[in-house]
Each structure stands twice: as structure tokens, then as C-alpha cells.
């Protein structure tokens, strides 16, 4: 009997046996805070495809907006800024010899 009580107490103390912690949304960095915005992954895929980038490093600048640096397939270095609103996203880019902009809307999502 004493052995059964001891096992019961030990099993109640094992980690993972309790109720899981509740969350209020996805883990940080995995999705947009605003459901009307594109995720970082969606933006990375779109920008990489549009500018024909072989590499892209992106970081948040707040409110669903991002700054990024990328390298084109031809070796060109890009500085990129991405801004989002409820209608979609706009981006601007600069290289050492050129600049430009683009956009995509909710229908692209």
C-alpha cells in the first residue's frame, strides 16, 4: 500500500502531467500581430521572387513593417523597407546604382 501511494505521489509530480499553458496567439516571430497583414515568411518569399534575390535577411521595425538586406542573383546588394497596411504591403529598395518600389495587395495573400 505504501508503495502504491509513493508511486501515485511521484506520478503527480512528473512534468507534463498538468494542464498546458494557455496562449493568446502564435509564438513571437511566427506570424503577424494583425491578421490583416502578411507574415514575415510571406513577405520574404514575395520580395525574394520579385527582386530575384539569392539571399534575404529581414527584421521587424514594428507594426508589421520590416527592414531587409538582400543579395541579387547577380551579386547586387539591396537595402529594402517594407510597410504594411490593411490593403496590402509596399516596399522600396535601393542598390548602389538604382532604386525602385513595388506593392502587393490582400488579393495576393
pLDDT category at 104 given cuts 50, 70, 90 is: confident
For 80, the grid coordinates are 529594402
Model pTM greater than 0.75? no
d(CA 102, CA 25): 30
Question: What is the domain extent for residue 60?
Answer: 36-109
Into how many domains does the chain fold? 1
Q: Is residue 88 part of a domain?
A: yes
pLDDT at 92: 97
Q: Is residue 71 part of a domain?
A: yes
Q: Does the pLDDT of residue 101 top 90, yes or no? A: yes
Q: Is residue 104 part of a domain?
A: yes
Q: Is residue 16 part of a domain?
A: no
Interior angle at CA 72, CA 62 and CA 80, nearest 5: 20
Q: Is residue 64 part of a domain?
A: yes
Q: Is residue 53 part of a domain?
A: yes
Q: Is residue 72 part of a domain?
A: yes
pLDDT tens digits, residue range 26-75? 445 555 567 778 889 999 999 999 999 999 999 999 888 999 999 999 99
Q: Does the pLDDT of residue 80 top 70, yes or no? A: yes
pLDDT at 56: 96
Amino acid at each position: 500500500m505504501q508503495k502504491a501511494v509513493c508511486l501515485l505521489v511521484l506520478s503527480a509530480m512528473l512534468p507534463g502531467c498538468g494542464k498546458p499553458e494557455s496562449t493568446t496567439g502564435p509564438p513571437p516571430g511566427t506570424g503577424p500581430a494583425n491578421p490583416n497583414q502578411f507574415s514575415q515568411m510571406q513577405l520574404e518569399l514575395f520580395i525574394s521572387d520579385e527582386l530575384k534575390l539569392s539571399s534575404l535577411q529581414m527584421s521587424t521595425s514594428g507594426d508589421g513593417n520590416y527592414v531587409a538586406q538582400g543579395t541579387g542573383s547577380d551579386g547586387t546588394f539591396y537595402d529594402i523597407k517594407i510597410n504594411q497596411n490593411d490593403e496590402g504591403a509596399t516596399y522600396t529598395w535601393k542598390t548602389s546604382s538604382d532604386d525602385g518600389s513595388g506593392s502587393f495587395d490582400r488579393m495576393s495573400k
